[in-house]
């Protein structure tokens, strides 16, 4: 089975990892070194960011 293409850019993942305080782990161990909970929190943060962006875009069009 091949690798799946990443949905989030590396820049976005790094930004979120820094916000969550897990970027040091990523630098030392790679993305495989983070805990499942941290990965879930990264996804949650990305969804919240996307929702805020959609909300801003919708208000800008009204």
Domains held by the chain: number? 1
Average pLDDT for the chain = 90
**Residue closest to 41 by CA, chosen among 16, 8, 15, 5:** 16
pLDDT tens, residue by residue, 17-33: 999 999 999 999 999 99
Look up the domain containing 44 and give its range: 31-62
CB 44 within 8 A of CB 14: no
pTM beyond 0.75: yes
pLDDT tens, residue by residue, 1-60: 566 677 889 999 999 999 999 999 999 999 999 999 999 999 999 999 999 999 989 887
pLDDT at 8: 83
Other beta carbons within 10 angstroms of residue 42's beta carbon come to 20
25, part of any domain: no
Contacts of 13 (CB under 8 A, 6+ apart): 6, 31, 42
16, part of any domain: no
């Amino acid at each position: 089975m091949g690798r799946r293409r990443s949905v989030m850019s590396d820049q976005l993942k790094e930004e979120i990892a820094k916000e969550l305080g897990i970027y040091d782990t990523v630098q030392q161990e790679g993305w495989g070194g983070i805990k499942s909970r941290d990965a879930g929190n990264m996804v949650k943060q990305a969804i919240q960011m996307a929702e805020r962006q959609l909300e801003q875009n919708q208000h800008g069009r009204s």
